[in-house]
Structure 1
């Protein structure tokens, strides 16, 4: 086991809690977007554990209560709301368990826990050609496993759970394979759920395969490809009960999203989010080119499928634009009365004719039938087909 925590001793009673002094690091620059964007508790890396149980950070001494802790970096003191006598109180202190200082490294069979990783950084940092297999990576402050400039890395059969920000991250890494992992219950430390790298897996400016994973009950997006992704395949995953989108493919190119089970996602967003198609769906394709969404089961998400056209500027393979998107052969089940599916556009970036094709899909819709959207309007099934979509599809 690799642990980034140190045991805290020397507690004394004070006011409404117990305090220990001189255990915090020197103050450091803060970053990261938190769900609470006023007090910003997610930006601090040091977390406390009482007999292995994760305590909740509060941002003032007045908020201290059982099950919580407060770190005062100005006076270098830590307070807890429960009597620590007879208990093991640990604080995550070390930032990184293993760094990417070499190529072609194998990491297997380890438990990596309680590291004070900084936002967007991993407790386990993965480099080129690494094989990371059958590890348990848990209760680290920011990202559990982070692949940075790690071309050809392989992550398989890992359990990545209860990390503070994100389960797995990938940045500027080509040909990476992320397969057969369990990624669950990540974003324990209050990062922004709707739109800042929290939740299951996020990849940026990279390529490769994400397949056969269980991505379940993360407080954020299940699988997010964002910014200049290319040649990305998201296939055969089970993506369930994540707080935001199940899958989001955003301002990227050449992606295939196929044979996934995408269920019950999108019901847990908070700040800056609502229930419209602008806020996403089980699958969300946002201002991307050459994307295929095919053969998926998309069932009982807050919204089923959101195709978005926005003004997003230029990327390395041309302007980010919604073009050549194919939605084919999916089974879409919409039981929730407010769930919908369709295309939304901003005024400066309307989808061009022929940019989106829906064909050979099957829909099961419960309740009102105006559950499709295009051109700023809610549409019934016949009206949706009159717009040229799903001419050879069926609904029931």
Structure 2
């Protein structure tokens, strides 16, 4: 754009004019158009006048001079088929870290319907660096919409997101196109630059906003109707592609091999092709990471070249080291080896090259037998081999371990330790068979260790080893790390001031992340998905994340999905915790289990379709449960007091570093505030449940308050009771309220809340359906700080 326009976008060299709304928020200068949001929650649009298309491909180059500084971020969009009936919108949300969420919407009469969204882990937006947003639409009976976002100068061969709209409200006629900026209500005002807006139709390509230097017109193209995409295959040697559909956040690690950490002067280099004579220079790298660790001085950076490292590495006490991948190269720590020399007989194949004997203790104490009491048995009768760390893959497909040769069948394996043989029930002829042969990947014992840009997989970690990666000294940082398919826990944090940022923990045998004595732990943008793959019992530990005996913990902008166990579990004297902006979806235990802990802000979380309770608060007080959407679970919200006492030293769970009894840890459901939540679709016998099994307290005595919520049940007796409410010492049994009016009239709670019966309150993504409202209450200061806004709203906040 060679023109300068103070208000609006003026007229292009080709005569195209624009509608800009508000016109005072649009301008042109220095070769680009500028849209400026005047305040949080503001929207600015710019649309070419006289251009109406149906099937088309659109693209533009966006640049954010500054990233958002707080809140949910900024939304940059292309609009298509815009008529009085609505429009399609392809948008990217950019958060304060530059993380991108790509989404396609249909908007009818102001009502947004999300057609699909996906994270874009291989691209981070940086201030002042342009990127391209592109969308393609075709069809009328079924409208197919493709979308992608990529760096300028990159020519992508595939689309990141593909959806098909067959709904009756689909948009089938030609309409206008445009560019849109929206700044979320929790984000300070900012501006965006855009340039080179292009609309390609079947008939022509029209660069409606030409770049500063005119270019020749692009040749006309004929859009093709895309087919329904299949899940992309992992690159050779890469990690699986995790299905994170239905989440708000682009949590998790960047793709291994896509990070670009700077290589500092004096760095030591490591390569799988290095030699024993290597000196650590770029020309003569070390052959192993442990060699580099041993030779490095404290403060050094180890740069790992592409390839697979079959190692167990210890960073010792007294060494502060950074371990990172070389820019743009895929680095894997792999605990598995290829097993060969197979012999077959009667449908069984064995290799005598197997000579490993791993410890199968089902406990955090080596050699300890499994528990016998309820809640202390690690092993599920249906999965007796869960604690055995042996793992086998045939052509990348995991095989199940059986306890005897007699049980061997296709898809299983048996390890005959006494005779050093491993048996398969599937013919390995001509196939790649890998077995775990190492137990641990990384032990971080040096204070201030940094690990970033790598993948870790396939280690035969025994339960008592705590994790394939263990943080054993303060101030460690893990960033853009993938840890998956390890036999027990993926990552364990056992020291203070650790940061776990942009990390993916997937399909680990017991847990994704465990933490104990991990004060000031920061967990941000974590993806914990499908952990407890070996199907241990839910108790004593399992699932996505479990944190014990730690103080000052944050879990933000994370996704805890489909874990066999709780999504996130606080247990045994965890104090001062913030869990915010996270998606806790379809876990087989509770979505969030807050147990024997105190002072927890649980804010702006999306808790959907978990099998256990949605949120369970058990002997835990000082809880702010605000602006969450909690849909599904046995009981959507379950607040319970049991007989465990903070003054009884025989009860497990006391923090030995604190005085006894600990005055900050009363283990009582006291001072719980529930406001502006959406709660519903319980599968159990009540929706909101507050019970004191000791029959000592009423909720009023405990200062439990609830208001400004939307509370839903599917029918007059589904669940049986709308609310269960403790009566304390007055009666053995609590109140059980089958109607909302009786509950409110008896307890005085939820005076400004809305009850819904016989219909849903949200769609499957957790968004409020049209017409569902409540009188949102004034947000407490701590909640407003977390949300980045004091404006009262209902439920979890969406982009």
TM-score, length of structure 1 as denominator length: 0.90
Once the two structures are superposed, what CA deviation does each residue of 1:159-218 show, in whole Å capped at 9, x if it has no partner? 21111111111110111111112211111112113x232111111111310010011111
Distance 1:56 1:349, change over 3 A: farther
Query: How far apart, in 2, do the equivalents of 1:234 and 1:79 lie?
Result: 45
Check if 1:206 corresponds to 2:550: yes
**Aligned counterpart, 1:128:** 474
Once the two structures are superposed, what CA deviation does each residue of 1:129-174 show, in whole Å capped at 9, x if it has no partner? 111111111101111111112x111111122111111111111011
Query: How far apart, in 2, do the equivalents of 1:241 and 1:112 lie?
Result: 25
Query: How far apart, in 2, do the equivalents of 1:129 and 1:212 lie?
Result: 21
Check if 1:146 corresponds to 2:487: no
Distance 1:99 1:351, change over 3 A: farther
**Aligned counterpart for 1:170 among listed residues 506, 515, 520:** 515
The worse-fitting range, judged by mean Cα deviation, of 329-338 and 41-50 is 329-338
SS of 1:188's equivalent in the other structure is coil
SS of 2:442's equivalent in the other structure is coil
Check if 1:373 corresponds to 2:698: no
How much does 1:14 deviate?
A: 3.4
Query: How far apart, in 2, do the equivalents of 1:294 and 1:25 lie?
Result: 51
Query: How far apart, in 1, do the equivalents of 2:582 and 2:417 lie?
Result: 42
Query: How far apart, in 2, do the equivalents of 1:291 and 1:24 lie?
Result: 52
Query: How far apart, in 1, do the equivalents of 2:340 and 2:682 lie?
Result: 53
Once the two structures are superposed, what CA deviation does each residue of 1:359-383 show, in whole Å capped at 9, x if it has no partner? 2222132212532112445312123
Identify the structure with bigger relative contact order (alpha carbons < 8 Å, sequence gap 6+): 1
C-alpha contact (below 8 Å) 1:92/1:116 kept by paired residues? yes
How much does 1:264 deviate?
A: 0.5
**Aligned counterpart, 1:362:** 710
**Aligned counterpart for 2:619 among listed residues 287, 304, 312:** 287
How much does 1:340 deviate?
A: 2.5
Distance 1:241 1:27, change over 3 A: closer
**Aligned counterpart, 2:752:** 392
Check if 1:49 corresponds to 2:393: yes
Query: How far apart, in 2, do the equivalents of 1:162 and 1:360 lie?
Result: 38
**Aligned counterpart, 1:308:** 640
How much does 1:293 deviate?
A: 1.0
Query: How far apart, in 2, do the equivalents of 1:219 and 1:354 lie?
Result: 36
How much does 1:252 deviate?
A: 0.7
Distance 1:190 1:291, change over 3 A: same
The worse-fitting range, judged by mean Cα deviation, of 347-356 and 122-131 is 347-356
Larger Rg: 2
Unpaired runs of 5+ residues, structure 1, are 267-279
Query: How far apart, in 2, do the equivalents of 1:122 and 1:353 lie?
Result: 43
TM-score, length of structure 2 as denominator length: 0.46
The worse-fitting range, judged by mean Cα deviation, of 43-52 and 218-227 is 43-52
Distance 1:26 1:37, change over 3 A: same
Once the two structures are superposed, what CA deviation does each residue of 1:116-135 show, in whole Å capped at 9, x if it has no partner? 11226111112421111111
* 1:173-322 paired onto structure 2 within 5 Å: 173-193=518-538, 195-207=539-551, 208-266=553-611, 280-314=612-646, 315=654, 316=658, 317-318=662-663, 319-322=666-669
How much does 1:259 deviate?
A: 0.6
How much does 1:352 deviate?
A: 6.0
* 1:53-68 paired onto structure 2 within 5 Å: 53-68=397-412
**Aligned counterpart, 2:779:** none
Which has more strand, going by share of residues? 1
SS of 1:55's equivalent in the other structure is strand
* 1:12-91 paired onto structure 2 within 5 Å: 12-21=343-352, 23-26=354-357, 28=359, 30-32=361-363, 33-37=377-381, 40-91=384-435
How much does 1:349 deviate?
A: 5.8
SS of 2:444's equivalent in the other structure is coil
C-alpha contact (below 8 Å) 1:57/1:69 kept by paired residues? yes
Unpaired runs of 5+ residues, structure 2, are 1-331, 364-376, 647-653, 727-733, 757-799
C-alpha contact (below 8 Å) 1:233/1:255 kept by paired residues? yes
Query: How far apart, in 2, do the equivalents of 1:146 and 1:246 lie?
Result: 20
C-alpha contact (below 8 Å) 1:27/1:73 kept by paired residues? no
How much does 1:39 deviate?
A: 6.5
**Aligned counterpart for 1:382 among listed residues 714, 730, 741:** 741
C-alpha contact (below 8 Å) 1:305/1:340 kept by paired residues? yes
Distance 1:14 1:196, change over 3 A: farther
Aligned length: 381
Distance 1:24 1:340, change over 3 A: farther
Query: How far apart, in 2, do the equivalents of 1:27 and 1:145 lie?
Result: 19
Over the aligned positions, Cα root-mean-square deviation in angstroms equals 2.1
SS of 2:446's equivalent in the other structure is coil
Check if 1:103 corresponds to 2:470: no
Distance 1:329 1:188, change over 3 A: same
How much does 1:230 deviate?
A: 0.5
**Aligned counterpart, 1:323:** 670
Query: How far apart, in 1, do the equivalents of 2:639 and 2:682 lie?
Result: 20
Query: How far apart, in 2, do the equivalents of 1:77 and 1:348 lie?
Result: 58
